[in-house]
Amino acid sequence: MVQHPPGDLAFLAEFLRRYPVRVVFRGRVLPEGPLKGEKLLEEGELALYWEASRPPAKETQEALRLLLRAFGEVLALKERELALLQAQDETARLLRLLLHEIKNSLMSVLGALELLEAEDLPQEARELLAIAEKSARRIRELLEKAQDYLKLGRGVRLKAERVDLKALLLEVAEEVRPLARGKGITLRLTLPKGEAWVYGDRDWLYQAVLNVLNNAVKYTPEGGRVWVRLLLGRERYTLAVSDTGPGIPKEEQERVFEPFYRASTRGEVENRWHRGLWEVLWNHRIMLFNPRYGRLGLVAMPYFLLFEALGPVVEVLGYVSLPLFAALGLLNPPFALLFLLFALGYGVLLSHLAVGVETLLLKRYPSLGERLRLLLLPFLEVLGYRQVLALERFRATFQVLRRRGQWGEMQRKGLGS
């Protein structure tokens, strides 16, 4: 908060010189001295006193009101500026602390990699260790640069040096290739025949290309393809990266350049969660129907197996068998329709009960409009959205059975307020 008015406002000094007035801001009198006269105007925490014996004309009083209001707006902007500067200082302090801690941990990793005896390891393992050590060193250099830039308070400054784009892309591809090989992804690199030199900061160009390729490999399903092409134009080069992954939804493509924005991947969360469920059940299968583990073994674990894990399999097979049985004349249409409506209605009922708990007991949605929308959404959920999620969880079941599928990168988000 601004405790005192800014001293570099020339119009305020001229204002106080021309008129027999004094301004009071949070108990401070401007210009300093004894307060005389009567209060003429008041705007928020500002008050204006008229010290002349004769009251001002109506036009003068209106001009004084506008000037006082403008002064109040300037003070509000000054408060926002100071709050922003304080937040920036706090963010920079936290970043410096974070970079310091990351750098210490990274030095331990580098020390372990340097001391590791790699002579008795297979050639492929030695190559992976070399890539890991190279990546760790590059991260250390980036951290050191970031620390220097924070000290200078000027942000990231880019160098202008001559960079061989072809060599840079080959180097990035070699770093990403082990990850692609682990998922059975074909990584193809197409480069022009001639030289490809540009001016820029090589470290940050390398990091930018590495981020794009890492995302392409990470979100491409196993057995897919990633194709990197360097296209030669008249006065510029174009780097094109294509893959056989799910892509970014059209409605989110305009936001991909927002800092820290992560586009949604259809079915990614459900697929990952269901694979994790199957792995937990398999790793702790000794607990299933085992009375030694009490209610956990006799109730909880069987519930997760029969309803959560196998439920999507039964649901998808049911959707597939309905038209098949109808074609073979083995389906009773009235009963099938009633059973389907009952199953979907039961899901809607459970969703409405959850909405009731949220609104009546927890009181998280006080608006009537929000409650009505929440009551409408369960009907939309059972008509399309539920089937898509069931299919994704069905696919995850067979990925686990074939030992396929990667967990991907887990990002800790912490606990929000």
Q: Do 119 and 229 lie in a common domain?
A: no
> Measured between alpha carbons, how far is 68 from 87 in angstroms, rounded to an integer?
29
Q: Do 172 and 282 lie in a common domain?
A: no
Which tokens belong to 124? 């492929």
Which residue, of 152, 182, 198, is where some domain finishes?
152
Q: What is the pLDDT of residue 100?
A: 64
Q: Report the predicted TM-score, pTM, of the whole model to 2 decimal places.
A: 0.41
Q: Do 217 and 76 lie in a common domain?
A: no
Q: Which residues pair with 225 in a beta bridge?
A: 186
Q: Taking the alpha carbons of 162, 167, 169, 175 in that order, is the dihedral positive or negative?
A: negative
Q: Do 321 and 195 lie in a common domain?
A: no
Concatenated DSSP letters of 323-376:
HHHHHHT---HHHHHHHHHHHHHHHHHHHHHHHHIIIIIS-----HHHHHHHHH
- What's the domain count of the chain? 3
Q: Do 280 and 361 lie in a common domain?
A: yes
Query: Does the residue 17 lie in any domain?
Result: yes
Q: Do 256 and 369 lie in a common domain?
A: no
Q: What is the pLDDT of residue 167?
A: 92
Q: Do 10 and 90 lie in a common domain?
A: yes
Q: Do 16 and 98 lie in a common domain?
A: yes
Strand pairing class (186-190; 21-25): unpaired
| Residues of the domain holding 43 | 1-152
Q: What is the pLDDT along the chain (417 residues), one digit of tens a residue?
A: 444 454 545 556 666 667 777 777 777 777 677 777 778 778 777 887 887 778 888 888 887 788 778 777 877 787 788 777 777 777 767 676 666 667 666 666 766 666 665 566 777 777 777 777 777 777 777 777 666 666 555 555 677 889 999 999 999 998 888 888 888 889 999 998 888 888 888 888 888 898 889 888 888 888 889 999 998 877 788 999 999 887 777 777 777 776 556 665 555 566 777 887 888 888 888 888 988 888 888 988 898 899 888 988 888 888 888 888 888 888 888 888 888 888 888 888 888 787 777 766 666 666 777 777 777 878 777 777 788 888 888 888 887 766 554 444 444 444 444
Q: What is the pLDDT of residue 189?
A: 92
> Measured between alpha carbons, how far is 109 from 409 in angstroms, rounded to an integer?
19
Q: Do 74 and 145 lie in a common domain?
A: yes
Query: Does the residue 413 lie in any domain?
Result: no
Query: Does the residue 82 lie in any domain?
Result: yes
Which tokens belong to 233? 């134009």
Of the candidates 142, 207, 198, the residue with the CA atom closest to the CA atom of residue 175:
207
Which tokens belong to 208? 């930018």
> Measured between alpha carbons, how far is 237 from 195 in angstroms, rounded to an integer?
11
> Measured between alpha carbons, how far is 52 from 49 in angstroms, rounded to an integer?
9
* R_g of the chain, CA atoms, integer Å: 33
CATH number, domain of 225, equals: 3.30.565.10
Q: Do 297 and 258 lie in a common domain?
A: no
Q: What is the pLDDT of residue 1?
A: 45
Which residue, of 237, 265, 293, is where some domain finishes?
265
Query: Does the residue 417 lie in any domain?
Result: no
> Measured between alpha carbons, how far is 246 from 190 in angstroms, rounded to an integer?
23
Q: Do 115 and 164 lie in a common domain?
A: no
Q: Do 24 and 116 lie in a common domain?
A: yes
